[in-house]
Every structure is written in C-alpha cells, then in structure tokens.
C-alpha cells in the first residue's frame, strides 16, 4: 500500500514537472455560475473597460491561469475571457495563433493591453518595441511563465498596430529596403530585354547602388550565389512555414550560407548585377516553392 502511494506520488510529480502550474489562481470552468474566479476575472475586465473609457486610473493588474482544453483556440479563448487576443498572445509569449496548445496553461489578465518582453525579446517583441517607449509603460511586472520568471512592460488598453496584427497572423514581411520605389510589379510584364511578355516572379524596387538590403523576416540563409546570368548576385532565405525570400541583383553580399539572420539584418547592398537595366532590388516571396505577390505581404506604409 505504501509502495503504491509512493508510486502515485512519483508519477504525479513527473506530470507536474512536465507542466508546471503557474502560481496564479486557476480558473477551471468558463461559466459564471460554476466558477467564482471566472466571475471575478470577468468583473475586473468590465471595470477596466469602464475605467479606460473614462480615462480613470486602472486597478492593479491581476493574473489568473487556465488550462487549455481541446477545442480552445486563441480567438475563442479571447472571446470567453473578454480580452483581446493580442493581450493573451503577448502575455503568454505567443508569436502566432498556432502557439496555443491543449493541456498547456494560459495566463489570463484582468485588463486588456499589450505586454512587451524586453529581457529576451522575440521577433514580435522587437517589432512592438519599434513604436512603444518602455518608460511609458503603465506597469512593469515580473511573472512566472512556463516555470520561468520573466519581466514584461504592460501597456494598458493598447491594441496591436495593423503591422503587428499582420505579422502575428503570419502575413507580414518587413520592407527589404530603407525606402525604394516600385518600378515593376509581380505578374505578366513585357521584358525590357526581349520585348516579349514574361512572368515576373517578384517585384523590382529601385534604389541607389549600395543601399542596404534587409532580411524581410527572421530566417536562415539557404542560398548565396554570385554571377547568376539572370539575378546576378543573390541571396535566398528560408523563414519556415514554407516561406522563402529572394534578393537579386546585389552589388555586394553581406551574409554567409547557413547563417541565421534576424528580420532587418543587412544581408547585402543594392546593385545592378545580372540581367538588370539599372540599380534595383529584385525581391521575391515564395510559399511552398510558388512565387507570391510580395506586395500583399508587405506593410502598406514603409
Ligand atoms: Zn525583378
């Protein structure tokens, strides 16, 4: 009997080690009548919403946790907790909606807003940090996430900017140049060389020779080629999820094969190598090997 209890204890500690319960009150049922903590969370969210609408100071941020069950997704959870999905995503360190996992714990706050991790920023944090001043955060909080302490700056009541939303939903690449003029679109066009109609796999962005070319998203350098008859010096990056980008006609390549680059890393300089009529960047986005129109993935304002 004692041995059996010991075995059970050993077994349950293993389960706990695999899935650390966060040190926050656990909401177990998402029904007001059954769970007092859920009721409390809903009341606090409502009070926060009223305070934000009136411009009143907000109550202290309270955290709860909830174990994700099968059938939950980020958007259904956001709707049940009456909290924007970006609040849940940034609090929990999700870079995509697919990060929600059945059986994992979700941290649930008592107020809407954006959480920014500057300690160990991910790609989304770096994007968000571009227009959020950490000194203007409503609160700096330290919390336990996945069993580890993390410090976050909390911007109460804020939502994703359109760019962050697009990035989070997986439709965004950053603009590959500091600035550039679109001189040739994606799709069928007349070749400037042959005068015949041909398919253009990417877009052409005119910019002076030597202009920095940025990685459009975090990724790995999977091809570096010099002197290609068509694309001249070019670099191809793999971003995961089936996405790749190509940067052609470079005057100089500043990245090496198999290296990891971050979104915004300079990978080369604009040039006019290969089949080109003047300095420009030929930029392609491929999904599962097929070229896509980069314009639909890029921010509308550079
Ligand atoms: Zn081109």
Share of the chain above pLDDT 90, in %: 56
Number of domains composing the chain: 2
**pLDDT for 18 beyond 80:** no
- Coil, strand or helix at 186: coil
CA 234 to mean position of chain CA atoms = 26
Residues facing residue 113 across a β-bridge: 156
| 3 found inside a domain | no
Ligand 1 centroid distance, CA of 180 (Å): 13
Residue 240: name the closest of 268, 271, 263 by CA. Answer: 263
Distance from the CA of 229 to the center of ligand 1, in angstroms? 13
187 in the same domain as 95: no
CA of 95 to the centre of ligand 1 (A): 31
Pair 26, 70 in one domain: yes
Mean pLDDT of the region 41-66 = 92
**155 with 227, same domain?**
no
Q: Compute the average pLDDT of residues 163-168.
A: 79
Cα–Cα distance measured from residue 113 to residue 90, given in angstroms and rounded to the nearest whole number: 9
pLDDT in tens, 217-253: 889 999 999 999 999 999 999 998 788 999 999 999 9
Higher pLDDT pick, 296 / 301:
296
- Per the domain annotation, does 11 fall within a domain? no
Which of the four pLDDT bands, split at 50, 70 and 90, describes residue 296?
Answer: confident
pLDDT score at 168: 85
pLDDT, one tens digit per residue, over 68-77 is: 999 899 989 9
In 3D space, the residue among 261, 236, 232, 258 whose CA is nearest the CA of residue 246 turns out to be 236
Give the model confidence (pLDDT) of 252-261 as tens digits.
999 999 999 9
Q: Which tens digits make up the pLDDT trace of 183-222?
A: 988 988 877 777 788 889 999 999 999 999 999 988 999 9
Q: How far is the CA of 202 from the centre of ligand 1 (A)?
A: 6
Cβ-based neighbour number of residue 38 at 10 Å:
21
Model confidence band, residue 292 (pLDDT cutoffs 50, 70, 90): confident
The mean pLDDT value for 265-292 works out to 94
- Same domain, residue pair 188 and 291: yes
**Listed residues 111, 145, 168: the one ending a domain:** 168
Give 257's Cβ-side CA count (13 Å radius).
Answer: 5
Residues near ligand 1 ion, CB 5 Å cutoff: 204, 282
Q: What is the CATH number of the domain that holds 278?
A: 2.70.70.10
As a whole-number percent, the residues of the chain with pLDDT over 70 amount to 92
Residue 104 has pLDDT above 70, yes or no: yes
The Å distance, Cα 287 to ligand 1 centre, comes to 17
Q: Is it the case that residue 29 has pLDDT exceeding 50?
A: yes
The model carries a pTM of 0.57
Final residue belonging to a domain, choices 124, 146, 168: 168
Domain final residue, candidates 117, 134, 168:
168
pLDDT band at 169; cut points 50, 70, 90: confident
Question: Poorest-confidence range of 81-90, 128-137, 207-216?
Answer: 128-137
Q: Residue 95's domain spans which residues?
A: 17-168
Q: Write down the mean pLDDT value for the chain.
A: 88
- Separation of CA 113 and ligand 1 centre (Å): 41
In a domain, 269, yes or no: yes
Q: 282 CA to middle of ligand 1, Å?
A: 4
Q: Are residues 33 and 66 in the same domain?
A: yes
d(CA 177, ligand 1 centre) in Å: 15
- Contact by Cβ (8 Å): 283, 236: no
pLDDT at 300: 55
- pLDDT grade, residue 281 (50/70/90)? very high
**Position with higher pLDDT, 20 vs 99:** 99
Distance CA(28)–CA(37), nearest Å, equals: 8
């Amino acid at each position: 009997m004692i041995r059996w209890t010991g075995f059970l204890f050993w077994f349950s500690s293993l389960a706990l080690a695999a899935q650390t319960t966060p040190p926050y009150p656990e909401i177990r049922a998402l029904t007001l009548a059954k769970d007092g903590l859920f009721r409390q969370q809903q009341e606090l969210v409502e009070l926060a919403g009223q305070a934000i609408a009136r411009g009143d100071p907000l109550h202290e941020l309270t955290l709860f946790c909830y174990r994700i069950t099968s059938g939950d997704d980020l958007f259904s959870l956001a709707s049940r907790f009456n909290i924007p999905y970006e609040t849940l995503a940034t609090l929990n360190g999700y870079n995509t909606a697919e990060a929600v996992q059945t059986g994992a714990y979700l941290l649930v706050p008592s107020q809407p807003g954006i959480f920014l991790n500057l300690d160990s920023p991910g790609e989304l944090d770096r994007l968000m940090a571009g227009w959020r001043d950490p000194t203007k955060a409503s609160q700096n909080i330290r919390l336990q996430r996945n069993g580890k302490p993390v410090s976050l700056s909390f911007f109460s009541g804020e939502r994703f900017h359109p760019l962050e939303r697009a990035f989070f939903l997986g439709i965004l690449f950053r603009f590959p140049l500091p600035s550039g003029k679109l001189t040739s679109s994606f799709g069928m066009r007349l070749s400037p060389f042959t005068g015949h109609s041909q398919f253009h796999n990417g877009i052409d962005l005119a910019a002076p020779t030597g202009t920095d070319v940025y990685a459009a998203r975090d990724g790995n350098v999977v091809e570096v080629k010099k002197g290609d008859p068509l694309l001249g010096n070019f670099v191809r990056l793999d971003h995961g999820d089936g996405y790749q980008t190509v940067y052609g006609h470079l005057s100089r390549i500043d990245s090496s094969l198999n290296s990891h680059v971050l979104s915004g890393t300079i990978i080369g300089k604009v040039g006019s190598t290969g089949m080109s009529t003047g300095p420009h960047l030929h930029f392609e986005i491929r999904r599962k090997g097929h070229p896509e129109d980069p314009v639909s993935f890029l921010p509308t304002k550079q």
